[in-house]
Amino acid sequence: MTFKYCTVLVFFLFHLSMSRAQEVMLPEVLDADKILFDGKLHRFLSVQEFGAHFQQADSTRLMMELEPCSYVFEYPDGSKDADDEYWYKDGSRFERSKEKLAVDEFRFTKDHFILYDGLRLDSSTTLAELRKHFPNAVYAMGEIEVYGEGKLQLIIFREDDENLSDGHIRLFLKDGKLSFIHWWFPC
């Protein structure tokens, strides 16, 4: 019986445009333009803004060494700068290219939080609180095994109303509380 319903769902989704299918599967948007990291910083920032807020990275790593399948600052032809780096700070990861940075993964703590359209989300934010603000996304929540983290709850959001991005935003919860946010893009 379950197989039959899954087959019908897959058939239905293939007949939708990719944009519409994404709306069905990911019912809510988490607009990156409305996110302020630590109440101050946007997702895209300068090296100078990073330094003013975080002082310096705890560590760095050349992205070419790690070979991620997608880069935020990738050129339209798919090429990348050999000196692009990941910058790590307090467990969070930023992608750096020249004088620009982008948040790739941000760890929630009591001191590190996001303001989303005025709503504070931090490591004490519970699933019940998220359900009040993002009921459809929480309803579609799942679980995933994350290397080095164990089994985490996962809430996925679209990036924009028009579905222009192939990627999405993932909120991870551990023990029912926010753990980190990650921007995911397909290879």
- The per-residue pLDDT for range 144-176, each reduced to its tens digit, is 999 999 999 999 998 877 777 778 899 999 999
Helix (H, G, I), strand (E, B) or coil at 175: coil
- Could you read off the pLDDT of 114-140 as tens digits, one per residue? 999 999 999 999 999 999 999 999 999
How far is Cα 125 from Cα 29, in angstroms, rounded to an integer? Answer: 19
What six digits make up the tokens of 59?
């560590």
Give pTM, 2 decimals.
0.83
What values do phi and psi take at 11, rounded to 5? -60, -45
How far is Cα 1 from Cα 171, in angstroms, rounded to an integer? Answer: 31
Side-chain half-sphere of 4: how many Cα atoms within 13 Å?
Answer: 1
How far is Cα 99 from Cα 60, in angstroms, rounded to an integer? Answer: 15
46 pLDDT above the threshold of 90: yes
If residue 154 lies in a helix (H) or strand (E), which one and from where to where? strand 150-158
- Per-residue pLDDT band at 22 (split at 50, 70, 90): very low
Cβ neighbours of 166 (radius 10 Å): 12
